[in-house]
Amino acid sequence: MASVAQIIGTDVETFALILLTAPLLFALWRLFNGNPFKSINRLPPGPFGFPVVGYLPFLRSDLHHQFTDLARKYGPVFKLQVGSQLCMVVSSPSVVKEILRDQDAIFANRHPTAAALIATYGGRDISFAPLGNHWREARKIFVREMLSSKNIRACHGHRREEVRKAIRTLKSKSGQAVNIGELVSLTEIKLVTRMIMGSTLGCDEEKHEKVVEVFREVMGRFVAALGEPNISDFLPWLERFDLQRIQAKMGGLVKAIRDILEPIIEEGERIVSEKSRIGSRKDEDDDDEKDFLQILLELKAGEAGKSLDLGAIKALLQDIVIGGTDTTATTVEWVMAVLLENPEVMKQVQNEVDHIVGLNSTVEEVHLLKLTYLDAVVKETLRLYPPLPLLVPRCSTATSQVGGYTIPKGTKVFLNTYALHRDPQLWDNPLQFKPERFLGPGSGLLDYTGNDYRFLPFGSGRRICAGIPLAEKMLLYILASLLHSFNWRLPEGEKLDFSDEFGIVTKKKTPLIVVPTPRLSNSQLYH
């Protein structure tokens, strides 16, 4: 066979003709057959990175701020190649709508990190579980049993008791500096653990205090480890080496929680077994005595046991306590900070609570629906300081077209609610704290249901936060009680710091330390 050199040497004219006509032939072929590189060209724009590691060396610890800065340069839809993982970041309401509503089935899957897989017993919870039968069953059980109107009403006494305890604690610390986030976190842990295992614990206050102490001790580190950037998540071949010791750290935290949960689960199994053995009547009174743990164990013994094993039960309990506590405490802390920064708004909230509740009564849950201005203050705070500024990342299960771009299967998708909530094209004076934007005409859709894609503090679509009804109730109840019972100020010489610290839940970088002073003349209202 003749070589290329031989062909060129013997037929120079033919070779020259090929060189001259090839571009024309290619142009004609492209005209009639389309662009063969179209799918490549339609990937979103984005910054370049290095071979192998991609953009990984340039990622900062404040991802929500960095992604917002990159969106200003590359647009509201851009890509990042981070190690072996292709990522897409979205901060356009129309594109978010495509992802969360129009193509929700494709983008409803998770891409859990190595730490998340350890934390959730291999993705056996609700937050990080892959889309499938287990996730659907677990979420259905949580909504039907834990968040039913009946159960929320039945747990009213627990909520009232724990909030009143917090008020008594603050009264005893009148004039002293208090870490408000820490206090609310402790209140929430006590409340949620009573809701999910109070009947199993019975009157054993010592055991309940041990449960509370373990969660209080590990929760901050647990959430931090979940949100800590891990090189192994982007270069999977490094996972076995655990270079940053994140997997080992998370394993230790999960063990601490498991060690306190397992004896309680065993006690729950004993109670459920005993009731089944003696044929306990399934009447209303018996149902009221069950806690969420016992309901889970009964379901495990039945048909639901196919997907609800002990690992899933532990993951669910852990999810509820940590997920339900950390976001609430963080939001209360941000609300109190912005109210201290805006004393006229705080005064207006207190006036509203005084008008609805009165000065010779305590705040009760029946008052909450009437506290419309406080509700607007909470929403405006969540707009400026969303606890999950990038929500929980999603993963595409198929190649699709979004916002005019091709998004390949397996792409990790970040929805930048932080940028959405501060976009000057979507909000008038977006950096100004203005609760009235949630009270005026057209504000009806600006709620927590995720139907207005400008405002998504808890997500939208099938992966929207399942615990919104309880979280909303507790946020308003705690804040109304704090603001009705006390006046608040900063310690002498202290200034407010609004810098944040990115994580799976983004918190204030410096804890909010405040000084309460009782404002109700009737001292009996603090007992």
Q: Which residues are annotated as a binding site?
A: 465
**Using a CB cutoff of 8 Å and minimum separation of 24, what contacts does 349-353 make?**
349/373, 349/374, 349/377, 349/483, 350/483, 350/484, 350/519, 353/480, 353/483, 353/484
Q: What phi and psi, each to the nearest 5 degrees, are found at residue 288? A: -65, -25
Give me the sign of the Cα torsion angle 423, 459, 386, 134: negative
Helix, strand, coil in percent for the chain, rounding step 5:
60, 10, 30
The two structure tokens encoding residue 435: 């609760």
Strand-pair partners of 461 = none
For residue 461, which amino acid is it?
Answer: G
d(CA 262, CA 254): 12
d(CA 128, CA 126): 6
Measured at the CA of 431, the angle between CA 481 and CA 227, to 5 degrees, comes to 70
Query: Which residue positions form the known binding site for heme?
Result: 465
Contact criterion met (CB below 8 Å) for 181 and 326: no
Residues 6+ apart with CB under 8 A from 178: 170, 513, 514, 515, 516
Strands 77-82 and 85-90: antiparallel
d(CA 116, CA 112): 6
Within a 10 A sphere around the Cβ of 34, how many other Cβ atoms?
9
Q: What is the phi-psi region of residue 302: left when phi exceeds 0, alpha when psi lies from -120 to 50, beta otherwise?
A: beta
> How many residues appear in the chain?
527
For residue 481, which amino acid is it?
Answer: S
